[in-house]
Chain A
Amino acid sequence: MKYLYALLLVLIACGGVSAKEAAQLADDPVVEQRLIAISEEMRCLVCQNESLAGSRADLALDLRRELRGLIKQGKTDDEIKEFMVSRYGDFVLYRPPVKPTTWVLWAGPFGLMVVGVVALFVYLRRRNSEIDTAGLTDEESQRVEALLKEGEK
């Protein structure tokens, strides 16, 4: 048991070491942290389901290099965003900006929700009033009696 425990510890230690080697760290951890924060909000154009921070595509490596340079030059986040958008369009941003062409995108779900709530409300109101007014005709109550008697047999 002791040996097993020791083996486990060794394995965990090894795992930790290899994980450290795999991470690409730049000389300046502050720059790297900002780079990750910015590039996680951007889409990699080659592997479109990956963020720029997570992608291993060649272009992503190059773009991270460029962004690192811009950060070191002291550019603001907005300037860096502009650098990317002016080259690749709004498509690189995971959060599209609010502007006339994206109004439907931003407001659409809320609009649909309002329509749904109104429709639900109207439907419930109508159903309620139907319950209040709808009684059984004589013919119907006779059928009900007949069916109930049949059930008793």
Chain B
Amino acid sequence: MKAKFLIPLALFGILVVFLAVGLRLDPHEVPSPLINKPAPAFKVTQLEQPELQFSPEDLKGKVWLFNVWASWCVACRQEHPVLMEFARLQVAPLVGLDYKDQRKDAFGVLRRSGNPYDIIAFDGDGRVGIDYGVYGVPESYVIDKAGVIRYKHIGPITTEALQKTIIPLINELKKS
């Protein structure tokens, strides 16, 4: 009976645990239902050569990183040096999707800070973005040799995420 006074304390402890876990969850990171599903097909023009088209089919048989960005996206500027580093390492093709943007604005950004992308697809009206479940730029997808989405990174890629998650995953997928 003496331990009765411990009950509120225990309840309080449980509440604290719940709140502590809740504080660490980011409600903006919505798990994507597209993981382990085939990457949605599309065919759009390229940013730099509007006469050429790009489709995910073109990269079948390769593991690649698909990065959704835009010139108006502030967080993309923060991510940019990490993508430059990724391009320098030559791990896998880096394909950009210029999302809801104006071509000339995108050119401005690439001229000012460099172009890490091998190919950039242009998605002016955001339809490709919708098919990929994009809701906050930047977002990145790792797509495997069979054209299946294996990983989605929401928000700017950090050096840590690149080194600890994305590059090891790409290397792993390349072996299979």
User: Which residues of A are interface residues toward B (Cβ below 8 A)?
Assistant: 45-46, 48, 58-59, 62-63, 66, 85-91
Contacts and interface: CB of A to CB of B under 8 A. Distances in A.
Interface string B63-102: 0000000000000000000000000000000000000100
Nearest to A90: B33
A104 to B, nearest CB: 14
Contacts of A59: 126, 135
Interface in B94-133: 100, 125-127, 130-133
Nearest to A66: B130
Nearest to B136: A46
A89 B130 contact: no
14 contacts: A45-B30, A46-B136, A48-B27, A48-B28, A62-B100, A62-B126, A63-B130, A66-B130, A87-B33, A87-B132, A88-B32, A88-B135, A91-B30, A91-B31
Contacts of B30: 45, 88-89, 91
A62 B134 CA distance: 12
A88 B31 CA distance: 8
Contact of A89 (B27, B28, B33, B131): B33
Given A45-B136, A89-B133, A91-B30, 20 more contacts: A46-B135, A46-B136, A48-B27, A58-B100, A58-B126, A59-B126, A59-B135, A62-B100, A62-B125, A62-B130, A63-B130, A66-B130, A87-B34, A87-B130, A88-B33, A88-B133, A89-B31, A89-B32, A89-B33, A90-B33
Give the 7 A-B residue pairs with the shortest CB-CB distance, closest first: A45-B135, A87-B133, A89-B33, A91-B30, A62-B126, A88-B133, A59-B135
DSSP majority for the B interface?
loop
Nearest to B100: A58
B112 to A, nearest CB: 24
Interface residues on B, range: 10 to 19
A88 to B, nearest CB: 5
A140 B32 CA distance: 70
Contacts of A85: 33
Contacts of B130: 62-63, 66, 87
Contacts of A66: 127, 130
